[in-house]
Each structure stands twice: as structure tokens, then as C-alpha cells.
Amino acid sequence: MEPKPIADPAPVEEPGPVVEPLPVVEPGPVVEPGPVVEPEPVVVPVPDPVVPVSPAPGEGGNELAQPDAAEQLHEEVEAELAAQAPEPAARPRRVEGPEWRGIVLVTGTDTDVGKTIVTAAIAAAAQAAGLRVAVIKPGQTGTVLGVPTDVEQVQRLAAPHTARTLATYPEPLAPLAAAKVAELPPLELYEVVDAIRAEAERHDLVLVEGAGGLLVPMGVRPSGEAWTFADLATTLGVSTVVVARAGLGTLNHTALTLEALARRGVPAGVVLGAWPADPELVHWANLSELVPHLVGALPDGAGGMEPGVFRRSAPGWLTPALHGVIDNWRTWADEVH
Ligand SMILES: Nc1ncnc2c1ncn2[C@@H]1O[C@H](COP(=O)(O)OP(=O)(O)OP(=O)(O)O)[C@@H](O)[C@H]1O
Ligand SMILES: [Mg+2]
């Protein structure tokens, strides 16, 4: 597939609902990361353990293997979530708080964690709240004829006002490597920055989906050095959504990503890409650990929903920061599937 050069993007303008455009939040000041001398403390706090993760010496037996262990943890986590959040009002309500507007980057703890589906959900919720939304994928790799690109998936599920891919490369590699292999022009940092800022002039919310995880080489700077999605966040001075898995291994990957963002001064929130229909012990334990950072959690299967159902459901998967209605994780856990 031929790459789409940044100079000649082909924006997909959908005639979305006519809404009164809200003021576009100006992008924050440019924050270039300096050399990090003192690493920030680890971001993810370690709350009191909800349950013993391993049996205490002398207790013997593997408690986690017992079939009712997950159920017991579920109940204990629910009790903890109830203690962390206020009792729900009779009807869902929006919590007062700053909503994320302007430019928001969507990264993940890895590839295939659900960045595209989460981007679509945020776009759908924001549009339902009356915002004009643009979605940009700077570097789409691994393009296969007949398989929808990320932007095409977002277009189908959420139909934002604008959805653009800046460059496509056929090989399923990081964008810079894919550009080199195909001998195509790599993404240039400031051309990407300019394209994103141009959309921010015309939209209330611009969601930018990365490729793979935070530190994947995306393209080149004018100096010829590689730049990453973290560099894009600091250059734009904007907040970042970190999409994470719900299962085993996610705590380490999420903590690493949040720490990398925190040491660069980038505000971040976490969204679980796919919460299983039948959560196990590990999912409840991870949820309990990640709740302080959570700004959303999508049910597994969300990506396969009919678009109308997806759009109506999306606000129920996101907190008010992301234009949704979750104000109580216990209620969410009861209702998500
Ligand atoms: N909540 C969900 N419901 C259903 N399917 C999902 C969900 N989240 C992710 N998936 C599926 O998992 C796969 C990976 O999701 P997705 O393409 O959103 O990941 P990604 O993080 O955007 O990956 P990439 O790094 O390639 O952009 C896809 O097949 C997608 O349909
Ligand atoms: Mg994607």
C-alpha cells in the first residue's frame, strides 16, 4: 500500500450532528524533557492488600486454586470499591471535575491492548456530550488489504467528525522501522505536531492513537534522531490515556508506562481495554490495584458491538474525565456485562 504523505492527508470528514462548537482548549506549553536526574517515585501506589496473594507460612495449601477464592475476592474488592467511592445516587450522575479536552494522546502498555477500541469509545462518548471530535493515527503499520485500519475501525464504531491516518506502512513493525524497510519517508515529529494542532483548531477534542507502546520509535526529528510517542506528549504538553490489559502481567507494564510518563511530567489515566465477562481472581486484584488511576474500562466484546449499541454504551465505560458517566466502580462492576 502506498504511504499517505503528511503533506497530503486525506481527511475523512463525516457530516456529524450539527452542534454548537465549544471553545477549543489551547494546547499547553511545549515541555521538552530535560535530562532526568532524579527519578520520580513509582507512580502506582501499593494499597493495603485486599487478600493474601500467597498463603502465609504454615497455612499450607493453595488457596488461589479453590474455586470460591475468586468469588470471595470479588466480594472483598467490591467492599473496598464501595469504601473508596461515594454511594451511588438513585440515578447515574456526572461527577464534577475537569474533562479532558483539546489534544489527548492514547497510548498503551503494549500493542493489541485495545487502544483503537478505547479511542473509539472516548470519541463516541465525547460526541454524545456534544463535542466535535477528531481522531488521528500518525503511523499505521501492518496494513493488509481487506483488513480495516485503526482509523477505519474508529470511523465505523464512533463516526467522529474527522478521522485521519497520516502515514501508512505495510510491514507490521514500529513505524520508523516499517518506513526504513519500505524505503518510505518516516514520520517527521514537527509535521505530526503541526497536523495535530491544525485539527485542534477545528475540534473540541483530538484523540491521537499511538503505535504499540509508549517508547516505540515513531519517526525522525530534524536532527535525524528517532522520536517516540512520549516525545510527542512532551512536545505537545498534553495528557495521555494509557490503555492496559486486565489480566496477569498488567500491573508491571502499567506501572512502567505510568512512571515513564510521570518522569516526563505527562498527566496520565488508565483505561482497561477489555474487562472479561467472567473475571477471575487476578482481574479483581488488578482492578483493586489500578482503581486510583482508572478513567475507564471497556467490556471484552465491545469492539464487536453493533455501532449504535457501542455509541450508546460508551459513556457507561468511561469516567467524566473522558466524557462518560462512571462515578462508582462498584456500580460499573455490577453493570458492565
Ligand atoms: N473491548 C474489546 N472488545 C472486543 N475486542 C477487543 C476489545 N479490545 C480489543 N479488542 C480486540 O483486540 C484486538 C486488539 O485491539 P486493538 O486493535 O484496539 O489494539 P491496539 O492496542 O489498538 O493495537 P495496535 O498497537 O495494533 O494499534 C483487536 O482484534 C480488537 O478487536
Ligand atoms: Mg490500534
Show the cell assigned to 310. Answer: 457501542
- Number of neighbouring beta carbons within 10 Å of residue 187: 25
Protein residue closest via CA to atom 23 of ligand 1: 112
- Strand 133-141 to strand 205-209: parallel, antiparallel, or no bridges (unpaired)? parallel
Q: For a substitution probing ligand 1, which of 105, 109, 116, 309 has the most ligand atoms within 8 Å of its CB?
A: 116
Domain boundaries, position 131: 109-335
Residues of the chain with confidence (pLDDT) below 50: 1-67, 85-96
CA of 118 from ligand 2 middle (Å) equals 9
Per-residue model confidence as pLDDT tens digits over 290-300: 999 999 999 99
Pick the residue whose CA is nearest to atom 31 on ligand 1: 303
Which CATH number goes with the domain that contains 230? 3.40.50.300
Which residue CA neighbors atom 25 of ligand 1 most closely? 111
- pTM here is 0.77
How far away, in angstroms, is 303 Cα from ligand 1 center?
7
Amino acid making up residue 19: V
Q: What is the pLDDT of residue 269?
A: 97
The CA 89 to ligand 2 mean position distance, Å, reads 36
Size (the chain), residues: 337
Structure confidence at residue 71 (pLDDT): 72
Tell me, yes or no, whether 120 lies in a domain: yes
Given the CA of residue 210, which atom of ligand 1 is nearest to it? 27
From 236, 164, 210, 198, select the one nearest 5 (Cα to Cα): 164
234 domain-assigned: yes
Q: Give yes or no for a contact between 318 and 327, defined as CB atoms under 8 angstroms apart.
A: no
Closest approach atom of ligand 1 to CA 275: 1
Q: Is 180 a catalytic residue?
A: no
267 contact partners, CB below 8 Å, separation of at least 6: 239, 240, 261
Q: Is residue 284 part of a domain?
A: yes
Pocket around ligand 1 at a 6 A CB cut-off: 108, 111-117, 150, 211-212, 273-274, 298, 300-304
Instruction: Decide if 43 is inside a domain.
Output: no
Please report whether residue 147 resides in a domain. Answer: yes
- Domain for residue 162, yes or no? yes
pLDDT score of 145: 87
User: What are the φ and ψ backbone dihedral angles of 136, each rounded to 5 degrees?
Assistant: -125, 130
> What is the 117 CA–ligand 1 centroid distance (Å)?
6
Phi, psi dihedrals of residue 187, rounded to the nearest 5°: -65, 130
Number of domains the chain is built from: 1
| Ligand 1 atom 16 nearest Cα | 114
Tell me, yes or no, whether 246 lies in a domain.
yes
Residue 286 lies in a domain: yes
pLDDT score at 78:
67
Helix or strand or coil: residue 161?
coil
**Type of residue numbered 205:** L
User: Ligand 1: which of 106, 109, 111, 112 to mutate, most ligand atoms within 8 Å of CB?
Assistant: 112
- Residues 139 and 323 sit within 8 Å (Cβ to Cβ): no
Burial 286-316 (b: 16+ CB within 10 A, else e): bbbbbbebbbbbbbbebbebeeeebbebbbb
What is the reported pLDDT for 76? 74
Helical pair 229-236 and 189-202, crossing angle rounded to 10 deg: 50
Pick the atom of ligand 1 nearest to 243's CA. Answer: 21
